A and B are shown apart, each in its own frame.
Chain A
Amino acid sequence: MTSDKKGARITQLHGAGGELMGELLDRLILPKLGRATAERIGLRALDDGATIACPFTAEGELVLTTDSHVVKPTFFPGGDIGLLAAAGTINDLAVMGARPIALTLAAIIEEGFLFVDLERIIDSFASAIESVGVSVICGDTKVMPAGDVDGILLNTTGVGIARHAVSDAGLCPGDRVVLTGTIGDHGMALLAAREEFNLSTRLQSDVAPVWPMLAPLLESPSGDAVHAMKDPTRGGLAAALNEMARKSGTCIEIDESSIPIREPVLGLSELLGISPFEVANEGKAILIIAPETVDDALRTLRAHPLGTDAAIVGTVTEAYPKRVILDTEVGGRRFLDMPLGDPVPRIC
């Protein structure tokens, strides 16, 4: 690892959700944090959230998650940092199988930031939490001198309740891999919107809270057939699938032709040489579902507007433990490995 060298410094890739971020956590941060578990799922699981025994109901688990948002540009096609912060935290709870209850909101703002922009951001945040029925119950505001922070950064912590929290490691051979919609939209929309790329595209971020789409499935009897979940944010589908395969010791075999992907995303990824499998999504989930239930589950997901493109994209097997295999559209076959990091920086 690059940090073995004397005077080594953190690079953007150390925060990009891939192999390097994993190494940073494993080798520098986690070993120093001895007390890292409060209940069943703790820090070391490196899941989307952690659990605490729920003091209110005997059968439930309290799920806790936290996230900082540093997106550039602050306003992007399809959303802004306010919507992203709300959706990001709600989604981390949702893919733990937890109904979101409450959020915190902390803002670090650069001196000179426009009131009107802050107002838009808070409006987006408010309408996102309203749509899910979750409350924001405490917060913090700091202002930094101009130049000490780039625009605005938000941090949100979320708390939710799950009947039984769903980890990202519960994959069993035979399970089907379900993707709730198209991939690559968020990362590619941000890339296209950056000033250095003079591209006019129809790309929109997919940023949205996924709980309203997942709730009907998770809170139905079929919910127990959902063995694992993850939201493919930084590092995209490739990073999320590799994490799931590694943690569960299974192999995930993906059928490329069944992966929903929009034409402009595919076109831009070809143009820039950036794989759509490696860029972030902010309104999607990967669900690992028992085969006998998957068709029912798919119907339930598709009944929600966010899930109309939901598809079965692969199967959990034992072929190559801890690896992900991609059956390509033309009929080829290769490993889909953990990316070093998301190729697009500052996306969430």
Chain B
Amino acid sequence: MTTCRLLEKLLAVLSLFMLDAVVPATAQQKTLDLVKARGQLNCGVNTGLAGFSQPNDKGDWQGLDVDVCRAIAAAIFKDATKVKFVPLTAKERFTALQSGEVDLLSRNTTWTMSRDTTLGLSFAGVTYYDGQSFLVKAALGVKEVKDLAGASICVQTGTTNELNLADFFRSNGLAYYPVVFEKNDEAVAAYNTGRCDAYTTDKAGLYAERLKLGRVAGHVIFSDVISKEPLGPAVRQGDAQWLNVVRWTLNAMLNAEEMGVTQANAKEMLASPRPDIKRLLGQEGSFGKGLGVSDDWAFQIVSQVGNYGESFERNLGRGSRLGIERGLNALWKNGGLHYAAPIR
């Protein structure tokens, strides 16, 4: 009798584990189908970086990276609110994407070759062209990076910043003392208490962190950068359809800006005679079908989230406390680097 019961239990436990082992296989399913079935997009974002992803005082997430998540939800569900934001540290982000905890990373992540080729990631494009720089106390009177020889520098672990820092000082034959933290907040706090002379991250991040330090004038951001940091959304490798959804959402936001389609005029633009606008807004051709979404996908993106320029100004530019210039992030027509492939 006991034998039978024990055996039964054993079998039950075993079958549980077998089931468990089978579950990840669903990851082989297409991400788009999974997201549609779930009715919600799981988007990995920064734990808090002003301008990119940060909850406001009402607890709503805001920022350029957040807008990309919302735009994708708008394209899939025609509802930009169907997003679950999953805040991730730099250390957690890739594992979270790999394990399927999030459908995409929209977390100011630098596109590099090794991340593309060995981490099992595919980058869908560039949302923000950045470069690494340094934040120092104005009282130090330091003007450029090379003056920092012998300084203590706070940096966040597992970032390209940590590696660029080592590269830069090595190639210039300069000494420095790194102090490495897991979280950005800890690194900034240590800089603020005087543990470090400088804090380093991407320039936009420096502007954001400086705001938190209170007296902005007390801290200087170097104008020169020591690296290229193209930041963009990444997905798991091997799902071309999902990669397309993310890539073309971004392209739609950029193209909309180029064509002058804004959140405010999107409805009127539906009647525009221009063929490129007609294609963008789904009035001509059937571009959504190939993407696996409805044909008015880009209209939903622009009318609910806005075009790239609007999102930039709202979160990072003139409409925000950061006040960052478009610079490299202007459209190619205006001397910037953003050049989206055409919708046709």
Are A and B part of the same complex? Answer: no
A residues with CB within 8 A of B: none
B residues with CB within 8 A of A: none
